[in-house]
Amino acid sequence: MSDTETMQVVYRSDYRPPTFWIDHVELEFDLDPHNAIVTTKITVRRNTDQPSRTLELVGEQLKLLSVSVDGVALNDDEYTASSDLLVLNDLPARCEVQTKVAISPVTNKALSGLYQTSGNFCTQCEAVGFRRITYFLDRPDVMARYQVTIRGDKSTCPVMLSNGNRIASQDLGDGRHEVVWEDPHVKPCYLFALVAGNLKCHRGSFTTASGRDVALEIWVEPQNIDKCQHALVSLQKSMKWDEDVFGLEYDLDVYMIVAVNDFNMGAMENKGLNVFNSKYVLASPETATDDDYLLIEAVIAHEYFHNWTGNRVTCRDWFQLTLKEGLTVFRDEQFTADQTSAAVKRIDDVAGLRAGQFAEDSGPMAHPIRPESYISMDNFYTSTVYRKGAQIIRMYHTLLGQDGFRRGMDLYFRRHDGCAVTCDDFRQAMADANDTNFDLFDRWYSQAGTPELFVTSAWDESAGRLTLSMRQSYPDLAGDLPGTKDRKPVPLPIRVGLLDAESGAELSQYNDVLLLETESADFQFEGLDRQPIASVLRDFSAPVRLRMQRSDDELAFLMAHDTDAFNRWDAGQTLATGMLLKMAQQAADGQPLDEPKLFSDAFAKILTDDSVDEAFKALAITLPRESVLGQEMDVIDPDAIHTAREFFRRSVAGSHRDQLTALHQSLAADGPYSNDQQSINRRRLKNVVLAYLVSLDTPETDQIAADQFSGADNMTDQQAALAILANSNAEQRIAALDEFHRRYHGDPLVLDKWFAVQASSSRAGALSEVRRLSGHSGFTIDNPNRVRSLLGVFSVNQSVFHQADGKGYELLGDYVLLIQSGNPQLASRLVSAFNSYRRFDTGRQELMLRQLKRIASEPNLCKDVHEIVQRALKF
């Protein structure tokens, strides 16, 4: 029997507290790339609720050198040890356990635990990386205070950082030095961090509301020291916002951020020492786009907000992950909405939710936001836990209002500061603080899938009454997935408004939040003079699929007049989706495609509407993604979808070519680059317009893109033009790609963009280009950003990845097998591209199934990939 066949399933229902608690941890690191020595002293006390005298400490790939209890070395027959488990029997009620282990950071390609990147030492311990550093109770409910001593070579590790405050340092006289750090706050081991190497610091400060001065330090490789100011300002904004909105102050004397190139995640909220993927720290106008700037600000905020929602109050067990992640995503979304445009931010968030999480909810990885079981916890850092989890938090906020939600947060912190708790504890705090009952919300935590909300309207002219009949249900899912059986109705706050059918004016007295808690209910609006137009699910007030029969004319009316910005955008998306699906069927049947006149007319009106900003216009005229269109088909036809969407875009562009050309020219900056909000909005619309123009495939429109590429003074305009050219047949395409590579091949983050624009191209021969790029000298599987920029982007390029001959599947399968032995987390993200295989035609199903079975047959398959593949095969 293979190792994968005996992989242990962990169940939420099996949670038990540990037999011992750990109160204090002393760690000593003698750093060496190949043979780092870690000495650990832990002060333990027996859990009085657990009578066992046995302490089991988990490890992973550790070499045990010694073990002692209360200073007395143990003989070999007094403990049981392997590379992944240390068992100590007959321990007293309180004692000190010391272990010494050896590890090899330089060969740690999993980027979990202590590893070396670009010559620097770095850690990543969430979820279960700490066990790769030392034997420990590697679980979030074990919270202790830490003191950390780091010793390293002065020439290669002049900077040595850990959590908390630096309390001592000295020169050891042998070419090494030592630094001691102490964290005064209890924390679980997943929040431990260590960074050491040749780094430079960009410094700042922040004065808290109570008058304390906090030192802010951003540590980067020396060549990147001039790209940190935006991150620093973002941090200062985040600290001020959290004080203003939630009354939460920072609690240490220093807050540090370190940027590293090789990192599996976006960033990590380790207490006082955040470790970041350099993608979310480094920025300059020449190398970062407007979207990069926004992402940096959002991720900086997210990790800072974790200081309270994740660190001060943490998870009892990993099944509660959404307790910290869903809540903190909601907080960072609110922060970004306050810094930019609430309407545009909401649309961006929902578009991402629909493209990623809705698909996850309908496939083999469907799970509740609080999962019931896992083999590898790393597989449940999902869109469901994060994005859908944030939508559940948003519903509390919608029902309670800003003040009620704040009361709930205040009570949550008063009750649980310094504790490891559950999702139920958060829900109870919200209920108790507002004297209400949220028991039905438990269903959101235990049920998987996206509810469908069916809405019909009935007009009684004689009574002046509009009745909205609402019904909710879950679509059936194949396979025996947790949380998909016997599902019950969930609480749905449905924000509704009514518009005058002639003028489009808002009937403000009818703007309300309706609460649907049962399977179905009728809601009536009285005292109306004439039949209105209903605007349902405003601001996307619940994470559902809205199923409401509306004519194209009604959707066009809402697209033109709805006073709710989200629903105005959504009406246009719904209108375009219906027309595109009809065209896709025509394409599949070999019929001529209809001109999208109704959408085209509304498109022109939006471009000239002075009541909305350019960023909203850019979103409103952008067509639904091909992957989102596929979700609306019983059997996904990627070729027909692509044909229909390209025809639709060219048709609209052709009808408005002169208007689009003039608009592109008018949106060009009339001065040097600026990153103020108006300039950002103008660039966003300009580049959407450019994509429409180049879709016409004429020498004149190609030249517009080439001129923008060569004349751009910022990465936003340059990358947009390059991506558009890379997806075209323009004769300037190759020259632009070569020039971009020549200019930026030495900058890793910008080189990622070069790979990504080619991987996202859907032009003929795109798959061959991806295969060629996978052999490029700049491509490496050791850097997650580089893999994601090529293979990750390619795997969501629907028309190319799902090429009918299966060559795209073979390419991805090859790399999953190549990567999984070194970096299981990265490989499991890639293999998830096969999860939707049952949604396609028989031929593609068989080809994807062949790759899944090929991967499953790998004798030394890592458990991360094993879990994803087995769920897919059983679906």
What are the residues facing 207 on neighbouring strands? 213
Which residue in 217, 303, 333, 626 is the catalytic one?
303
Interatomic CA distance for residues 435 and 431, integer angstroms = 6
Alpha carbon 318 to its chain centroid, in Å, reads: 17
Residue whose entry in the numeric block shows the structure tokens 């998909």: 484
CB 719 within 8 A of CB 747: no
- Angle between the 715-726 and 748-759 helix axes, to the nearest 10 degrees? 30
Interatomic CA distance for residues 1 and 234, integer angstroms = 52
- Angle between the 290-305 and 229-246 helix axes, to the nearest 10 degrees? 50
Q: Residue 564's closest CA among 622, 602, 511?
A: 511
Residue whose entry in the numeric block shows the structure tokens 């471009």: 607
867 is catalytic: no
Tokens of 531: 């039949």
Residue whose entry in the numeric block shows the structure tokens 């992957």: 627
Bridge-based pairing state of the strands 85-88 and 465-473: unpaired
Tokens of 697: 């495939």
The SS3 of residue 398 is helix
Bridge-based pairing state of the strands 143-153 and 176-188: antiparallel
- Check residue 73 and report its DSSP letter: E
Count of Cβ atoms closer than 10 Å to residue 529 Cβ: 8
Tokens of 610: 């002075």
Bridge-based pairing state of the strands 452-460 and 545-548: parallel
Bridge-based pairing state of the strands 465-473 and 492-499: unpaired
Exposure string for 382-421, b = 16+ CB within 10 A, e = fewer: bbbbbbbbbbbbbbbbbbbeeebbbbbbebbbebbeeebb
- Check residue 184 and report its DSSP letter: E
Interatomic CA distance for residues 97 and 72, integer angstroms = 9
Interatomic CA distance for residues 71 and 86, integer angstroms = 17
Interatomic CA distance for residues 798 and 389, integer angstroms = 26
Interatomic CA distance for residues 705 and 694, integer angstroms = 7
CB 220 within 8 A of CB 199: yes
CB 374 within 8 A of CB 382: no
The SS3 of residue 86 is strand
- Strand ranges across the sheet with 254-260: 200-207, 213-220, 254-260, 273-277, 267-268
346-351 long-range contacts (CB < 8 A, ≥24 apart) are: 346/539, 346/540, 346/565, 346/566, 347/565, 347/566, 347/569, 347/616, 347/619, 348/619, 349/387, 349/390, 350/540, 350/566, 350/570, 351/619, 351/625
The SS3 of residue 730 is coil
645 Cβ contact list (under 8 Å, min separation 6): 580, 623, 626, 629
40 Cβ contact list (under 8 Å, min separation 6): 25, 26, 27, 28, 98, 99, 100, 101, 134, 135, 136
Annotated catalytic sites, by residue? Answer: 303
